[in-house]
């Protein structure tokens, strides 16, 4: 329980720092005035209309990405497994880019990403079969990712420079320009996904032991695996729809949570909290770097995630050599 308290404290501190810091610094007195006076407070627009919805979007999307990563890593029994392996992220990106190239913006792009994720998930389940094995799932997901990536590249090549630039910014993953519609959308669907994740915790933990042992423990593996895929896909779709495909969050959150829990199976609560913390840290870095350049959050999650991936690979090689 102490690690959850530590993570909650880190989340609160980072949230407050991101809420207060920026080109215009908001003091704690200004925050108190916003709470007391509401729209009459001088910092109301900055806090309520600009920063708060962006941070709530970051919290929700980060939790979704973290949970999707933890589920994927347990499902494939590999700490290097990323949610992107399912192909849902690439499908969502294709749907969003199609809307952007068509000249749409705002919630239309969000719904385009959601539609692309749904189609990719259905194709994944259709091609993987009724009782999908891990290797078949991975190969099918990679195939979907490559196909969707090729179609995305084709759309970008035929778009104008302005629309292609907007699409490339979205593909990096960004919290810039996220307002209350995106925040409400992610928090409308996330509680349902969290309940489903809580129900899936026990089957997921048992399936890490292998299919045969999981069956002996009463887990219907053939029925559970497609449902877990749907759950991971729903979490990915929810996050990508509001922020774009922010990389490395799912890859980092699950292993970090597992290490904090001393490696005792998947820590889904910890993964959600760490995913949210990573997104908040990325947004804080975006804010602090704003005087130099307005960078998307995906740049900073990449800068955090690339060394983490290299370290995981190095540790895996070291453990194999020692064995």
Q: Please report the pLDDT score of residue 65 as a whole number.
A: 94
- Checking if the pLDDT of 164 tops 60, the result is yes
pLDDT tens digit sequence for 73-126: 888 887 777 788 888 899 999 999 999 888 877 788 888 988 998 899 889 888
Using one digit for the tens of pLDDT, what is the confidence trace for 38-69? 888 888 899 889 899 999 999 999 999 999 99
State the SS3 of the chain: CHHHHHHHHHHHHHHHHHHHCCCCCCCHHHHHHHHHHHHHCCCHHHHHHHHHHHHHHHHHHHHHHHHHHHHHHHHHCCCCCCHHHHCHHHHHHHHHHHHHHCCCCCHHHHHHHHHHHHHHHHHHHHHHCCCCCHHHHHHHHHHHHHHHHHHHHHHHHCCCHHHHHHHHHHHHCCCCCCCHHHHHHHHHHHHHHHHHHHHHHHHHHHHCCCHHHHHHCCCCHHHHHHHHHHHHHHHHHHHHHHHCCCCCHHHHHHHHHHHHCCCCCCCHHHHHHHHHHHHHHHHHHHHHHCCCCCCCHHHHHHHHHHHHHHHHHHHHHHHHHHC
Q: What is the mean pLDDT of the chain?
A: 86
pTM exceeds cut of 0.75: yes
User: For residue 221, what pLDDT is reported?
Assistant: 77
Average pLDDT over residues 227-237: 89
pLDDT reported for residue 280? 94
| Percentage of the chain modeled with pLDDT above 90 | 32
> Sorting pLDDT into bands at 50, 70 and 90, what band is 320?
low
Q: HSE of 26 in the Cβ direction (CA atoms, 13 Å)? A: 25
What tens digit of pLDDT does each residue of 239-291 get? Answer: 998 998 988 898 888 888 888 887 666 788 999 999 999 999 999 998 888 76
pLDDT of 131 strictly over 70: no
Q: pLDDT tens across 191-226, in order?
A: 999 999 998 888 888 887 777 787 887 788 777 888
Pick the more confident residue, 319 or 155. Answer: 155
pLDDT over 90 (residue 127):
no
- Looking at the domain 2-314, which fold is it? ABC transporter involved in vitamin B12 uptake, BtuC (1.10.3470)
């Amino acid at each position: 329980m102490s690690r959850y308290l530590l993570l909650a404290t880190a989340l609160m501190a980072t949230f407050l720092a991101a809420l207060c810091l920026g080109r215009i610094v908001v003091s704690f007195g200004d925050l108190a005035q916003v709470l007391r006076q509401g729209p009459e407070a001088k910092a109301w627009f900055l806090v309520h209309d600009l920063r708060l919805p962006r941070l709530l979007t970051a919290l929700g999307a980060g939790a979704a990405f973290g949970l999707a990563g933890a589920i994927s890593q347990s499902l494939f029994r590999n700490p290097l497994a990323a949610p992107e392996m399912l192909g849902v992220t690439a499908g969502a990106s294709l749907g969003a880019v199609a809307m952007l190239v068509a000249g749409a913006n705002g919630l239309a792009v969000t719904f385009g990403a959601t539609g692309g994720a749904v189609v990719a998930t259905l194709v994944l389940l259709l091609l993987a079969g009724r009782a999908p094995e891990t290797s078949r799932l991975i190969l099918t997901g990679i195939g979907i990712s490559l196909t969707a990536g090729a179609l995305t590249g084709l759309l970008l090549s035929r778009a104008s420079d302005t629309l292609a630039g907007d699409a490339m910014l979205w593909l990096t993953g960004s919290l810039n320009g996220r307002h209350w519609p995106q925040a409400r959308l992610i928090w409308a669907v996330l509680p349902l996904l969290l309940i489903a994740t809580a129900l899936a915790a026990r089957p997921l933990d048992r399936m890490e032991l292998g299919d045969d042992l999981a069956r002996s423990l009463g887990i219907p593996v053939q029925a559970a695996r497609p449902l877990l895929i749907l759950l991971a896909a729903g979490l990915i779709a929810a996050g990508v729809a509001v922020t774009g495909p922010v990389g490395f969050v799912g890859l980092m959150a699950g292993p970090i949570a597992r290490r904090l829990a001393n490696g005792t199976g998947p820590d889904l609560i910890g993964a959600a909290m760490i995913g949210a913390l990573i997104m908040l840290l990325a947004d804080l870095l975006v804010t602090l770097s704003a005087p130099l350049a307005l960078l998307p959050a995906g740049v900073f999650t990449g800068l955090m995630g690339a060394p983490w991936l290299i370290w995981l690979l190095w540790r895996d090689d070291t453990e194999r050599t020692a064995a």
